[in-house]
């Protein structure tokens, strides 16, 4: 998802439902691109759900990737989420 840059707090709230003040947000910077990573949990019909998000900010746009999945599905998943998120870049 691509959103207008400027209000990081609003972008985070729109994509996960939590404010930045309610999350631990890890910020890094590479080649002028700010990267914000965060996780959250929410209640689902079959138990807790785990969310993970990354926002890349180039000063003009927020490029957003999020995943929301059922807790405990990582062991049975063929997707290695750490690799998926690590590959998310503007390069």
By DSSP bridging, strand 61-70 and strand 47-57 are: antiparallel
Average pLDDT of 26-40? 95
> What was the pLDDT predicted at 91?
78
> What was the pLDDT predicted at 76?
58
For 43-77, give the DSSP string: EETTEEEEEEEEEEE-SSEEEEEEEEEETT-TTT-
Is residue 33 scored above 80 in pLDDT?
yes
pLDDT tens sequence across 34-84:
999 999 998 877 788 899 999 999 999 999 999 988 876 655 566 677 888
> What was the pLDDT predicted at 85?
87
Neighbour count for residue 11 (Cβ, 10 Å): 22
d(CA 26, CA 24): 7
Average pLDDT of 22-41? 95
> What was the pLDDT predicted at 77?
60
């Amino acid at each position: 998802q691509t959103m207008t840059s400027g209000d990081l707090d609003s972008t985070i709230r729109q994509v996960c439902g939590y404010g930045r003040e309610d999350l631990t947000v890890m910020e890094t910077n590479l080649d002028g691109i700010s990267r914000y990573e965060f996780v959250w949990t929410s209640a689902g019909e079959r138990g807790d759900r785990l969310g993970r998000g990354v926002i890349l900010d180039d000063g003009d746009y927020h490029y957003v990737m999020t995943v929301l999945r059922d807790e405990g599905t990582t062991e049975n998943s063929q997707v290695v989420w750490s690799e998926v998120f690590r590959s998310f870049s503007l390069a």
